[in-house]
Amino acid sequence: MSVTQRAIRGTRVVLRSKQVSDAANDFAWRTDPELATLDATHPLQQTFQEYLRQYQEELRYPSPWSERFAIETLDGEHIGNCMCYDINTARGEAEMGIMIGRKDFWNRRYGYDALLTLIDDTFGSTSLRLLYLHTLESNTRAQRCFQRCGFTPVSLIRRQGWKLVRMDLPRPQWYQIRSQCLALLEQQPPATPSPTPPGPLQR
């Protein structure tokens, strides 16, 4: 099956279509207990070979209701992933998720740039009217980042024992703040790494 490859450039990141060479990093991040907790899930228990077979199958036959991207630095380092999924064209909405798996890139605004880039591309290339996401109630750092991107907390839910905050971003709200968000990002150089980063941005 032919899959269109995309690359979307932000200020300090590039979002590109996923490829099989990402599998080793993704497996390491999916089996990391800290990252799994922040993603409101549990670490993978399967072997890398099992994971790789499933990974290749998903790349070969991607869902039409989701789009996944690797997050790369401008130097081509794979530092995380983001996605737009559960795309519902009838309702005009989709869910977003993001993770910076490389902990040495936490607290340096790469996640903020990646999320703004994904939001801008999604609203600019589709007719979706609403983007939303879920994050742990305890992950206040991620919530602050999402709010800077225009998301507003709308409800608190429980999912498989996790307390999650749902946050929404309607299309009109994005275009009210878009210029301000992008201008602010371009004015800010990458921050130096934190000695004790509190966690990645998560959906």
Q: Domain holding 167: CATH number? A: 3.40.630.30
pLDDT digits (tens, 9 = 90+) for 97-113: 999 999 999 999 999 99
Question: Is the separation of the CB atoms in 178 and 124 below 8 Å?
Answer: no
Round to whole Å and give the CA distance between 185 and 125: 21
pLDDT digits (tens, 9 = 90+) for 109-156: 999 999 999 999 999 999 999 999 999 999 999 999 999 999 999 999
pLDDT digits (tens, 9 = 90+) for 40-82: 999 999 999 999 999 999 999 999 999 999 999 999 999 999 9
Q: 101 lies in which domain range?
A: 7-187
Round to whole Å and give the CA distance between 128 and 170: 9
In a domain, 195, yes or no: no
In a domain, 199, yes or no: no
In a domain, 202, yes or no: no
- pLDDT attached to residue 93: 99
In a domain, 103, yes or no: yes
In a domain, 18, yes or no: yes
In a domain, 156, yes or no: yes
- Residue 71 CA, chain-centre distance (Å), reads 8
Please enumerate in sequence order all residues whose Cβ is within 8 A of that of 165, keeping only pairs 6 or more positions apart, or say none: 134, 135, 136, 137, 143, 153, 155, 156
| Better-predicted residue by pLDDT, 167 or 183 | 167
Round to whole Å and give the CA distance between 55 and 107: 29
Question: Which helix H or strand E contains 134, and what residues bound it?
Answer: strand 130-136
Q: pLDDT tier at 188 (50, 70, 90 boundaries)?
A: low
Count the domains in the chain. Answer: 1
In a domain, 198, yes or no: no
Q: pLDDT tier at 2 (50, 70, 90 boundaries)?
A: very low
- pLDDT attached to residue 185: 80
In a domain, 174, yes or no: yes
